[in-house]
Amino acid sequence: MVTIEQFIEQFLAAVDFQDQVELKPDTKLADLPEWDSLSALATIVLFDTEYGKVIVGPDLEKCGTVSDLYALMG
Amino acid sequence: MSQCTLRNVRFAGMATCVPKRVFHNIDDAPPQIRSERERLARNIGIYTRRLCPEWQTFSDLAFEATEKLLAELKWNKADVDALIVVTQSPDYPIPATAIILQDRLQLPQTTIAFDVNLGCSGYPFGLHLVGSMIAAGAIKKGLVLVGDRSGDERDPLFSDAGTATALEFDANAPPMHFDLNSDGSGYRAIILPVGGHREPVHMSHLIQHRDEGGYWRCSMDLILDGPAVLSFSTQRVPPAVEDLLNHVGMSKDEIDYFIFHQANRMINETIRKKLKLPEEKVPSTLRDLGNTSGASLPVTMTARLHEILSQGKHRLLLCGFGIGLSWGSAIVDVDTAVFPALIEA
């Protein structure tokens, strides 16, 4: 089972932000300046290829925080 | 359609033409979005694109490609029975660009000429269409012209190209295998929403606003739902490729090259990894030639493999996918075909 700390590390590698940010489980996605459509694509690919979990755009729209994303792993 | 096989159809040759004009996704972007563009280019894998100047259309590129191909094939123009254009960038909404090209290319008036409205998935469908005419004995020689002028300075994805492929009747040709699919429930994933009869152009559609990059936008522009396209591509394409291989009873090792539509690096790498294909068997033109829509299979075959494909026998798996939604694959043996180097016009 991937821990939330490991998830955050893999998530940051996937979204490949230009400017470094520190993420905590309760960090709001809307507060991240580079949480954009490219990040959404990268997150969908991360879940599919690393966790074998298919998520779609509307799943991401429902997520407010980093821990909401982590919870999508189910 | 389930999978099908066409016999007696020879892949005779291919030519590809791109505009001379090179657009740099990072250096040519407005300074205020350059940092964002660096990240975008890195992730979509597209650094330079080819864009038509104002005066140039897709059909100009396809014309150059066809003239070169016919000359190198040494085909008599009077022998061309069909000219099928697969594009979403016609010269005019009507009439069909293929018919205009029949005259411009000085092909006989007996030529069957019409357009097919398909985008990124179009190449295997075009091969299947002309291949079916040949396999049925209806025609002997046919041309498939595939491509688009979908590039735009504002958006970093699309790039322009026109291509021509020649197919001919040959009783000794190896079979071509196809798997072609459509899912209209996803029609909104990539759409030009205005200008057809559902939503005719009205003055209000022309009102422009500036986006954060300073580019002018209006409701006439293409809408692309990135997450929906990504999910579609990465979920549907790998099983479709596996299905075709299973149908034909071939292993991946029996395919020399897998040519995928060049969508973007994230989509293409996900598909490649899911199918467990080695990088050297999956050539890419994203970095320098961008997403050339329906032309991306011919663009990649020409730019990366033209020398290899003009000598000896090679088995290709070709796979296009995108707007529609539509996706199709073909297994084609190319044996000493005519393959001129990439043309710039």
Strands (E), chain A: none
Taking only the tens place, the pLDDT of each residue in B69-90 is: 999 999 999 999 999 999 999 9
Q: Hey, is the C-beta of A21 within 8 angstroms of any chain B C-beta?
A: no
3-state secondary structure of B132: helix
Instruction: Please give the residue that has the higher pLDDT: either B212 or B155.
Output: B155
CB pairs under 8 A between A and B: 50
Pairing of strands B257-260, B313-322: parallel
Query: In this model, does residue B258 exceed pLDDT 70?
Result: yes
Locus of tokens 């979204």: A15
Q: Hey, is the C-beta of B33 within 8 angstroms of any chain A C-beta?
A: no
Over residues B109-120, the mean pLDDT reads: 98
How far apart are alpha carbons B180 and B124 in whole angstroms?
Answer: 8
Query: In this model, does residue B197 exceed pLDDT 90?
Result: yes
Closest Cβ–Cβ partner in B35, B43, B273 for A38: B43
Q: Hey, is the C-beta of A41 within 8 angstroms of any chain B C-beta?
A: yes
Taking only the tens place, the pLDDT of each residue in B115-146 is: 999 999 999 999 999 999 999 999 999 999 99
Contact B47, B269 (CB under 8 A): no
Locus of tokens 């007996």: B110
Q: Hey, is the C-beta of B32 within 8 angstroms of any chain A C-beta?
A: no
Pairing of strands B22-24, B112-116: unpaired
Query: In this model, does residue B171 exceed pLDDT 70?
Result: yes
Give the mutation candidate from A45, A47, A59 for the B interface (greatest B CB count, under 10 A): A45
Taking only the tens place, the pLDDT of each residue in A21-49 is: 999 999 999 999 999 999 999 999 999 99
State the pLDDT at residue A61. 92
State the pLDDT at residue B294. 97
**Residue type present at position B61:** L
Contact B244, B317 (CB under 8 A): yes
Q: Closest by alpha carbon to B299, among B262, B251, B338, B334?
A: B262
Interface touch A49/B270, C-beta < 8 Å? yes
State the pLDDT at residue B1. 63
Q: Hey, is the C-beta of B196 within 8 angstroms of any chain A C-beta?
A: no
3-state secondary structure of A28: strand
Contact B10, B169 (CB under 8 A): yes
DSSP B295-325: GHHHHHHHHHHHHHHTSSEEEEEEEEEETTT
Which residues sit opposite B260 in a β-bridge? B319
Interface touch B228/A56, C-beta < 8 Å? yes
How far apart are alpha carbons B116 and B138 in whole angstroms?
Answer: 19
Closest residue in A to B276 (Cα) is A49
**Residue type present at position B119:** G
| CB neighbour burial string for B19-42, b if at least 16 within 10 angstroms, e if fewer | beeebebbeebeeebeebbebbbe
* ipTM entry: 0.90
Taking only the tens place, the pLDDT of each residue in B3-13 is: 999 999 999 99
Query: In this model, does residue B114 exceed pLDDT 90?
Result: yes
* Three-class HEC string of B228-277: HHHHHHHHHHHHHHHHHHHHHCCCHHHCCEEEECCCCHHHHHHHHHHCCC
Taking only the tens place, the pLDDT of each residue in B274-330 is: 999 999 999 999 999 999 999 999 999 999 999 999 999 999 999 999 999 999 999
Interface touch B273/A60, C-beta < 8 Å? no
Contact B300, B146 (CB under 8 A): no
Query: In this model, does residue B162 exceed pLDDT 70?
Result: yes
pTM equals 0.95
Contact A39, A23 (CB under 8 A): no
Q: Where are the alpha helices (H) located in B146-258, listed in sequence order?
A: 226-248
When pLDDT is cut at 50, 70 and 90, the band that residue B211 belongs to is confident
